[in-house]
Amino acid sequence: MGAVLQRDADRTRRALLDAAAAAIRAHGPGVSLDAVAREAGVSKGGLLHHFRTKDTLLVGMVEEWTARFDAAVQRHVDPDDDRPGRLCRAHIRAAFDDLGVDDQLWGHPSVLTALLAVPEVLHRARASEDRWRSDLGADGLHPQRSLLIARTLDGVWMSELLEGRVDHSERQQTRDLLLGLTEQTGPLLPGTTDARRDRS
Amino acid sequence: MGAVLQRDADRTRRALLDAAAAAIRAHGPGVSLDAVAREAGVSKGGLLHHFRTKDTLLVGMVEEWTARFDAAVQRHVDPDDDRPGRLCRAHIRAAFDDLGVDDQLWGHPSVLTALLAVPEVLHRARASEDRWRSDLGADGLHPQRSLLIARTLDGVWMSELLEGRVDHSERQQTRDLLLGLTEQTGPLLPGTTDARRDRS
DNA sequence: TTTAACCGACCGTCTGGACGGTATCTTGGA
DNA sequence: TCCAAGATACCGTCCAGACGGTCGGTTAAA
């Protein structure tokens, strides 16, 4: 038969995930399965075949999302860079260059809202966050730096999400600032020489 | 005027707002009005009397929340402090000392989720964010500092919300770090002397 | 008596998901 | 190569339950 199959489960599945994001943007976090199915050009029954419940669909969306982000970070790791903070830098670049809220289908408050409403999604998000926390912690930078950078990236993301618009100049400045902060390994503040401060 | 009224519209109204938060924590972002009313010890009709629609109730919740936060910041402004960054410091202290996710009725992912689902809530949040942005921008610190601090505060908040738990040691470190960053007014990175970088 | 606070039964609507069916693909035996 | 038969992808109707909000009524305050 032809290279283009009329039935391609994988393609349909991915189409449904994208359609879900689009439908949520259009109809808000409370989209109906009907709307998603319609957006994907599939019947409701077809949707339910791939995702047996609505929550399953939303969980599928986070999986897709985290997979994309992980891949983006890997893509941004500079092979010629072997200084401390290389993963941090890749993380920063991925966050700023690949996760633009502008054109991104997923970067929309409604999508976030819809996803966070599912407990299982929260679990996944937390697990992912834990992984990043430990990976970035072992990146060779002073804890003050990696901590500040990680939180700032979260903040930028959430801020852009809430604001709904992006100040490109500010965005660029923040990006450069964070990258600059990875270029030294010492503490950010004078007087605090090390993270180990237990005196008991 | 009797000290204790059997009918006290204000008290009921506030009880409903708290009950809404509690009910959302218990039943998820999609609570029914019935559940909220029950939690507040009021009939559904009573609830609808104070908040004519569900969205109105949620908008009421953000108003309450932002009012509390604004008041907290004002409370944390140190009258003896007239150095640059005093508002920033108050902001930091308010965020860390008055917005603990632990005991706070409102600091719960479900509550955030429920609120973000309402367009009007987003508008309010954005307006509030804009106010803070301009206030903090006029606080006398180098833009790199105020920008980083603001985004970090957002990130800490959202991170704790997602994580659901709080690492008190990390929290304390972040707090001290941010406060420390307000103690100098120069740029954070060497080489960047000023925010004005237009070269075109 | 008027008005505001509050009640609770009721209704129209919506939606998740079950289900029974159809079309297409795959497999393996001859 | 062909056929049978099971498996997989997809369809579209149907329904029970839930929920938001209306409304006529009731009780306390002014």
- Number of independent structural domains in chain B: 2
pLDDT at B193: 61
Nucleotides of C under 7 A from a protein CB: 4-10, 14-21, 24-25
DSSP letter for A117, please: T
In a domain, B194, yes or no: no
pLDDT for A102 equals: 55
Identify whether the C-beta of residue B145 lies closer than 8 Å to the C-beta of residue A146.
Answer: no
Q: Is the same domain home to A78 and A131?
A: yes
Residue B47's domain comprises 8-52
Q: Tell me, what DSSP letter sits at residue B105?
A: S
Residues A32 and A77 in one domain: no
User: Alpha helices, DSSP H only, in A29-108?
Assistant: 33-40, 44-50, 54-76, 86-97
B108 within 8 A of B25, measured Cβ to Cβ:
yes
Rounded to whole angstroms, how far apart are CA atoms A136 and A84?
A: 10
Q: What are B128-162's pLDDT values in tens digits? A: 999 999 999 999 999 999 999 999 999 999 898 88
Chosen domain end from B20, B37, B52 = B52
In a domain, A126, yes or no: yes
d(CA A182, CA A153): 13
Report the distance separating Cα A19 and Cα A36, nearest Å: 6
Mutate to test the interface with B, among A32, A110, A113, A134 (most CBs of B within 10 A): A113
Mean pLDDT of B102-120: 84
Q: Estimate to the nearest angstrom the gap between the alpha carbon of A64 and the chain centroid.
A: 10
Q: How far apart are the first and last CA of chain B?
A: 69
| Residue B71 domain-assigned (yes or no) | yes
User: Going by C-beta distance under 8 Å and a sequence separation of 6 or more, which residues neighbour residue B123?
Assistant: none
**Within a domain: residue A188?**
no
Question: Is the domain of A16 the same as that of A71?
Answer: no
The CATH number assigned to the domain holding A139 equals 1.10.357
Q: What tokens were used for A196?
A: 């180990």
pLDDT of residue B100: 64
Measure the CA angle with vertex B56, ends B54 and B58; round to 5°. Answer: 75
pLDDT, tens digit (0-9, with 9 covering 90-100), for A47-98: 999 999 999 999 999 999 999 999 999 999 999 999 999 999 999 999 998 8
Looking at the structure, tell me whether residues B44 and B67 fall in a common domain: no
Q: Chain A closest CA to B109's CA: distance in Å?
A: 7
| Segment A116-126, tens digit of pLDDT | 999 999 999 99
Do both A24 and A117 map to the same domain? no
Instruction: Give the CA-to-C1' distance from B39 to D21 in angstroms.
Output: 19
Give a yes or no: residue A101 inside a domain. Answer: yes
Asked whether residue B122 falls in the same domain as residue B133, the answer is yes
Give the separation between CA B63 and CA B124, rounded to whole angstroms.
8
Amino acid A199: pLDDT:
40
Task: Note whether B82 and B173 are same-domain residues.
Answer: yes
Longest Cα–Cα distance of chain A, Å, equals 74
Say yes or no: B168 and B83 in one domain: yes
The string of pLDDT tens digits covering residues B49-105 is 999 999 999 999 999 999 999 999 999 999 999 999 999 999 999 999 887 655 566
Q: State whether B89 and B48 are in the same domain.
A: no
Compute the nearest-CA separation of B51 from chain A (Å): 21
How large is the C-alpha radius of gyration of chain B?
Answer: 20
**Phi, psi of A83, rounded to the nearest 5 degrees:** -80, 165
- A31-50 residues near strand C (Cβ < 7 Å): 31-34, 44-45, 48
CATH number at residue A13: 1.10.10
- Alpha helices (runs of H) in chain B, residue ranges in sequence order: 9-27, 33-40, 44-50, 54-76, 86-97, 109-116, 119-137, 143-163, 168-181
Please tell me whether residues B64 and B21 are part of one structural domain: no
Domain annotation covers residue B189: no
Q: For the CA atoms of A128, B21, A36, A104, what is the dihedral angle to 10 degrees?
A: -50
Q: Tokens in use for B177?
A: 């770090």
Distance, Å, A43 CA → C24 C1': 16
Domain shared by A40 and A122, yes or no: no
Instruction: Report the residue of B27, B149, B154 to disrupt the A interface, i.e. the one with the largest count of A CBs within 10 Å.
Output: B154
Measure the CA–CA gap between B26 and A106, rounded to whole angstroms. 28
Query: Chain A residues contacting B, CB < 8 Å?
Result: 28-30, 109-110, 112-113, 116-117, 122, 125-126, 129, 143-144, 147-148, 150-156, 158-159, 162-164, 170, 173-174, 177, 180-181, 188-189, 192, 195
Residue A33 has pLDDT above 90, yes or no: yes
Q: Do residues B34 and B71 share a domain?
A: no
Interface test with B, best of A148, A184, A196 (most B CBs within 10 A): A148
Read off the pLDDT of residues A163-197 as tens digits, 9 standing for 90 and up: 888 899 999 999 999 999 999 999 998 876 654 44
d(CA A40, CA A22): 9
Average pLDDT of the segment spanning B155-174: 90
Nearest-angstrom CA–CA distance, B125 and B118:
11
Residue A163 is predicted with a pLDDT of 85
Query: Within 10 Å of residue B96's Cβ, how many Cβ atoms?
Result: 20
Confidence class of residue B190 from pLDDT cuts 50, 70 and 90? confident
pLDDT band at A1 (very low <50, low <70, confident <90, very high): very low
Cβ distance of A29 and B117 shorter than 8 Å: yes
Nearest-Cα residue of chain B relative to residue A130: B163
In angstroms, the Cα distances linking B174 to A147, A169, A186, B75 are 8, 26, 16, 21
Are B110 and A117 in contact (CB < 8 Å)? yes
Instruction: Please report whether residue B136 resides in a domain.
Output: yes
Average per-residue pLDDT for chain A: 88
Establish if A190 belongs to a structural domain. no
